[in-house]
Every structure is written in structure tokens, then in C-alpha cells.
Amino acid sequence: MTEAEYFGKWLNILNGQELHRIMNILAIEYKKKPVCPKKELVFKAFHLCPYEEVRIIMLGQDPYPQKDVATGLLFGNQKGIAEELFSPSLRVIKESLSALKSFGPSQGFDPTLEPWAAQGILLLNSSLTVEMNKVGSHSTLWKSFISEFLQKMSMYSPGIIYLLFGKQAQFFERFIDNTCNTILMENHPAWYAREGINMPPTIFKQTNELIKKQYGNFLEWFQKY
């Protein structure tokens, strides 16, 4: 698959020179030390959520730094993982969403979050890679890439809803044009997991209301089986 086929119209927004600079650095990094996620998953969020379909951008912090956990999608877990093995952040999110409405046996929760991407949600970490077990180790590498991406995206594609989870994501608020986009902020789910308290569903409820107003339908956080 060519770069154009993989990224599609995202190449109109992404800084190609910066993209190639980072890819060259990562080619060396992956040879020297363990990096998360796997190399072929680094830009998966862009591949699964086409530019022309994006309605929401969720921004977090690092990918999961544990071996074979990160999938390239913010908060996503591996396909088929048992619920009791969900990452703490994903467990917090599922419990928060469950408070929005009841769901029966005909509805389930896909831990990959790929159905979210298919609905126009760009699930993005503010660092797309991290050295295994070293949180924040690649934040400098990605800072310019993410900053410029958000600045251009918010300027050229107005009407996007930005959900910023945690302080690392909220640092990038300054690069988002809030005159023609909506910015919502919440603590990172990992914070709620550490504190042992439930995350209120407020940010998801507000998002649903905005999406309903703009597009006439609600998001399907849970999938029908």
C-alpha cells in the first residue's frame, strides 16, 4: 500500500516533511529498543478514520507503554480481549458510557474502538509512540507534528468537536481555533482509575448532543450484535 493509499486526504493536512522526519527517526528507534505500538500501527488512527468523514477528534497522551497493548487507536485494546483484562482507562470509559443509557444482550462494547473510528472519530494520542515502559519518552518527538496538525485541521476543517483528555492533551488546546470548533475537556481516564472513582459521562453526553444537532443522529458508543 502506498503512502497516498494509506493516508488518503489526510496528506492535505499533515506536514509531509515532518511526517518523513519522524518516520526516519522511528526506523532507527525500532531497531535500537522496544517501542509501542508496533511500527505498522503508529498511524492507524488516520487510516481507519478518513479525513472526509471526521467529525470528532479525541486526544489523549501516550500510547499504552506495556508490551503488545497499544493498538494505534487512543484507548483501544486488542480484539477479543476479555472485559476483566481491559486496560484501566478503557474500563473507566466503558463504565462512564454505561451511565448514559442501559444496554441489553443485543448490544456490546468493542474494545478495539474501531467502530468509533468508522463513525468519524479520530482516536489520537498526543504522542503516537512511546518507548516500552517509559511514559512520556517520545513526547518531544511528536510535539511539532501534533501541534501543526491541530492548527491546520481546526483552521481548514471547521465544525470539529475536540475532546481533550488529561493535561498532556489539554496543552494542545492553544493550537485549536475555538472560534469555529468546539473544545471539551476532561481528566484522563487513567486519573479516575488511580483515584478509584467513576468518570462522569458529561463529556460523552455533550458530544452526543452536539452530534445530534449537527448531523441529526447520535453516536453508537455500543455496538449491536
Higher model confidence: residue 116 or residue 101? Answer: 116
In whole angstroms, what is the distance from residue 72 CA to residue 114 CA?
A: 10
In whole angstroms, what is the distance from residue 129 CA to residue 114 CA?
A: 19
DSSP string, 80-115: T--GGGS-HHHHHHHHHHHTTS---TTEE--TT-HH
Q: Which of 33-42, 83-92, 105-114, 141-150 has the lowest mean pLDDT?
A: 105-114
DSSP string, 164-186: EESHHHHGGGGGS-TTSSEEEEE
Catalytic residue list contains 177: no
What percent of the chain shows pLDDT beyond 70? 96
pLDDT in tens, 181-211: 999 999 999 999 999 999 999 999 999 999 9
- Per-residue model confidence (pLDDT) at position 19: 94
Q: Is the pLDDT of residue 101 over 90?
A: no
Q: How confident is the model at residue 29 (pLDDT cuts 50, 70, 90)?
A: very high
CA 143 to chain centre: 15
User: How do beta strands 161-165 and 182-186 pair?
Assistant: parallel
Q: What is this structure's pTM? A: 0.95
* Mean local confidence (pLDDT), 122-151: 97
- Per-residue model confidence (pLDDT) at position 223: 77
In whole angstroms, what is the distance from residue 225 CA to residue 105 CA?
A: 8
Catalytic residue among 62, 68, 110, 177: 62
**Contact (Cβ atoms closer than 8 angstroms) between residue 182 and residue 213:** no
Q: Give the cell for residue 92.
A: 473507566
Q: Is the pLDDT of residue 103 over 80?
A: no
Q: How confident is the model at residue 5 (pLDDT cuts 50, 70, 90)?
A: very high
CATH class assigned to 3-224: alpha beta
* Best CA proximity match to 181, nearest among 200, 203, 154: 154
- Per-residue model confidence (pLDDT) at position 224: 60
